[in-house]
Structure 1
Amino acid sequence: MNWLSRVAALAMVGTLAVACGTTPGDRALTGGGIGAAAGVAGAAIVGGSLGVGALIGGAAGVATGALTGPEDIYLGQPVWE
């Protein structure tokens, strides 16, 4: 595993650590971060464009976060509240 893949994996783990929220905005924000990190990690692994991976993953994460309810996925209160 090269250094870029390690950094991407670490970013994804860090993002998952703060993933939470009870409002659609909170979930969209954290979902976007998780999705972007996952997109960068995926792009790094397959040798694709990191920016494109981040955009696609972030968009998917925002949509997923905004469209799920707190009863679907609940990881606690956001760290900023």
Structure 2
Amino acid sequence: MTVAEQLSSRAMAVLRAVAAGRAQLTGGCEPALYIDGLPCCDQMVSHDLVHAGLLRASRVVGLYERTEAELTDAGRAAIT
């Protein structure tokens, strides 16, 4: 089973939003995800995607600072 087959439709939508440049992450070990400037309604999905190595912050930021979210190579593979 591929990674994409294991992901929910919500997780896939989050990955597509990140790929489209619409997402930001805060710093910290459990980063908050913002899509189109609004907090993501399912923070568990964003935490799971970060911990699975599918998305990451584009640079290191402080706890309450935001930076662009980006897909990892594995994240790009999951949505192709």
Task: Judge same fold: TM > 0.5, yes or no.
Answer: no
More helix, by proportion: 1
When the two structures are superposed, what TM-score results if normalisation uses the length of structure 2?
Answer: 0.28
When the two structures are superposed, what TM-score results if normalisation uses the length of structure 1?
Answer: 0.27
